[in-house]
Amino acid sequence: MSGEEGLPVTPAEEASPVPPSQETRREAMAFVVAAASWLVPGLGHALLKMWGRAVICFLTVGVLVWVGAGMRGNLFTSRGNDAFDSLGYLADLGTGGFYWVAKSLETNGPDVSRADGDYGTRFLATAGVFNLLAALHAYEVARGRKV
Amino acid sequence: MRAWRLIGLLNTLTGVRLSHFQALVVFALVISIAFGFLGRRRPMERVKYILWTLLLFILIGVGIGWAMYPFSH
């Protein structure tokens, strides 16, 4: 079995069902879905008509942000002092639009002098990391690698 | 004036006070449901996955809590 230039070609490459132009379009669409999923939790899955997962992603991030902000968790900013602050900021930023929702909910600012505030910080970070995971899942589904 | 009232109301609504165990259960429940929906497709598989993950979250959380108990005294 050989290709046009005499190079060996595997059966999977030879029988590629998707033309390159369609593949590029699918890739671009997958990026749009991932970006939408990050910006508004669940939107990426909604674009793929996965309604159950869309609602669950939205509610999960929403509940975690609401509880985290309610417990006065620390919402990191871009002006961090060390690597942990920067990592925390990246995790919080993962919530997309909910980052600003959390900011507006925390009218009294964070209070990590109590265990509540410390737990709240973890809730907020988890919301961000979960949303990034959901965006990656939506991207993979849009690429056709997952169902 | 109205805006301040709204912020006050929002504050009251968002002021969440949970015990350590309640926080653990809320966290475990929310994440288990989310993982169940993302990781499995069939309803029965989802239910099994959610219950199993929830159980493990709580058991391991309480276990780690007890493991740390001697160091807190």
In chain A, what are the domain boundaries? 26-143
- Distance from B68 to chain A by nearest Cα, in Å? 16
Model pLDDT, residue A1: 43
Both tokens of B22, joined, read 């309640």
- For residue A15, the 8-state DSSP code is T
Q: Is the pLDDT of residue A2 over 50?
A: no
Q: Is the pLDDT of residue A144 over 60?
A: yes
**Regions of chain B with pLDDT less than 50:** 8
Q: Does B47 touch chain A (CB under 8 A)?
A: no
**Burial of A59 (C-beta count, 10 Å sphere; 0-12/13-18/19+):** middle
Suggest the residue from A45, A49, A56, A124 to mutate for an interface test with chain B (most B CBs closer than 10 A). Answer: A56
Question: What percent of chain A is predicted at pLDDT more than 70?
Answer: 88
Q: Say if residues B61 and B28 touch (Cβ distance below 8 Å).
A: yes
Model pLDDT, residue A8: 55
pTM (2 d.p.): 0.81
Q: Say if residues A68 and A120 touch (Cβ distance below 8 Å).
A: yes
Q: ∠ CA(A22), CA(A26), CA(A27), 5° rounding? A: 120
Mean pLDDT to the nearest integer, A23-34: 90
CA dist B72 → A113, A118, B62, B67, B69 (Å): 18, 18, 15, 10, 5
Q: Is the pLDDT of residue A65 over 90?
A: yes
Q: Is the pLDDT of residue A41 over 70?
A: yes
